[in-house]
A and B are shown apart, each in its own frame.
Chain A
């Protein structure tokens, strides 16, 4: 009962954020909402990444590629073929999922470091293709003029509109993440992550569950890419940069890998924090770096570990 009440209040608060922001920081509301939209999209992306890294324990570096494949699919379909958003979104999700399916089969023949290197190679190739296949992707000229989403008579074009879309996305991805990582599926994922040999003795096919996490994670990343381009309106090959993996890994490991709350806390902290630190431009990166160091040393299990210890004490 208490939980349901707290959940309702938190949801109501999150939905009311655009009005709260308008009332509290009237001059800055566009900027604040923009940061919050990015936070929501990063949160959904980090959750999809954690399915692979946190729950089946495979250090994939291919995630920016799936994000980019979803983004390019939707951007090109919307601009070149005039597909409506309601068709471009599923197309972006499906394309990223299919590529993950095709890439995952050979990649999972590799283990540990080789798997990380193989997926890194794939991410680099994806970015090189996006940069150099100019006829198709427009390369460094970028895909521009990507239309805002139109769902029937509902047009998502305002900042609050995008904020609610991002909030709905992170909510849905969170539900999916919870469903996949608990109960019987979660147990099978964790068995494969913790001891593959023993998982086989328990009749669990390790490849099947690794592929399941990899393909669903890739498809969700493609969906987030679709939302991202329809918000920003422009898509350049730089969006597929490998550094996206690094940002996501920081969110996962400093937030709390393998935990819904930890990953979300991590995405909020590490999207909002660099922005807050803009107030001290000279020292921004120094303070950011120091904070990361302190967390790694003082809380190796991430912010989630800190929260858990506090709530127990």
Chain B
């Protein structure tokens, strides 16, 4: 059984079909990239999978369970982590607190226990702080733990958002353009991070425009154009596919 299965997913906006009957199947432990020209429906597909949009038709199954149209916070709770194209961190919280925010709902959610700071909640918090420091160190932000996230550089914020998505140890990680608008050194760092994630056996779905990154690290590439899946296969096969070349460069 595939970890994530998308069946015949269609999403229209006022008559424009952004995603058109797309099927995607991802096995546990895979590292798959989703590519395509601007406006080909990659982010819309991401949003439908993670509950930010309800598809018009089609199904999304996670661990074989139908999660179509389920609210975003519930899908996240099931163990689907994601990052956003435009860096998304909580700017007024510290780097450490950003990470803690992403784990706490997975540990306990009792309002009363939190209000009175029950011993159990304190233990969870201590464990969360330890994990957050470990993750911050792993992305090289250990020294900035207490800095407000808004004071970090663009690339650092991307790394922070990446680390935050990993806090609850999600089964599936969706990364929306992690290497966009980031300097070359940072791109290499991001690449290593993603490969490291894959090395730990995590399942990763990546949307990325940077072809060096995509071709270097992906096991499998899915190509969208005008909302339709036009190709799928190994990076080499996709690179030579005439339909893909046409979609990117025209006829």
Partner of B73, one of A185, A194, A205, A212: A205
Q: How far is the CB of B3 from chain A (nearest CB, A)?
A: 19
Report which of A183, A191, A201 forms a contact with B72, defined as CB distance below 8 A. A201
The answer to whether B101 touches A204 (Cβ under 8 A) is yes
| Cα–Cα distance between A203 and B82 once the two chains are bound (Å) | 11
The size class of the interface chain B forms with chain A is: 35 or more
CB distance from B120 to the nearest CB of A (A): 12
Cβ-defined contact, A185 with B105, below 8 A: no
Indicate if the CB atoms of B111 and A185 lie closer than 8 Å.
yes
**Across the interface, do B101 and A191 meet the contact criterion of CB distance under 8 Å?**
yes
> Which residues of A have CB within 8 Å of B73?
199-206
Instruction: Please report the C-alpha to C-alpha distance between residue A184 and residue B82 in the assembled complex, in whole angstroms.
Output: 21
Considering the chains assembled together, what is the distance between the CA atoms of A204 and B72 in angstroms? 9
Taking a contact as CB atoms under 8 Å apart, the answer to whether A184 and B121 are in contact is yes
In whole angstroms, how far apart are the Cα atoms of A190 and B93 in the complex? 8
Contacts of B111 in A (CB 8 A): 185, 212
Q: How far is the CA of A117 from the CA of B168 in the complex (A)?
A: 38
Chain A contact patch, size range: 20 to 34
Looking at chain B's contact residues, the main secondary structure is helix
B125-A184 in contact (CB<8A): yes
For the complex, is A114 an interface residue (Cβ under 8 Å from B)? no
Minimal beta-carbon separation of B106 from chain A (angstroms): 6
B14 CB within 8 Å of chain A = no
Q: Mark B132-160, 1 if CB is under 8 A from A, else 0.
A: 00000000000000000000000000000
Residues of B within 8 A of A204 (CB): 73, 101, 105
Tell me, yes or no, whether A195 is within 8 Å of chain B by CB: yes
B194 within 8 A of A: no
Instruction: Give CA–CA (A199, B97) in the complex, Å.
Output: 13
**Which residues of A are found within 8 Å of B50, using beta-carbon distances?**
201
Given A183-B125, A194-B91, 8 extra CB contacts under 8 A: A184-B114, A188-B104, A198-B89, A202-B73, A202-B105, A203-B74, A204-B105, A205-B73
- Residues of chain A touching chain B, judged by Cβ–Cβ distance below 8 Å, are 179-180, 183-185, 187-188, 190-191, 194-195, 197-206, 212
* Chain A to chain B contacts (Cβ below 8 Å), 7 pairs: A180-B115, A190-B92, A191-B90, A197-B84, A202-B76, A203-B76, A205-B71
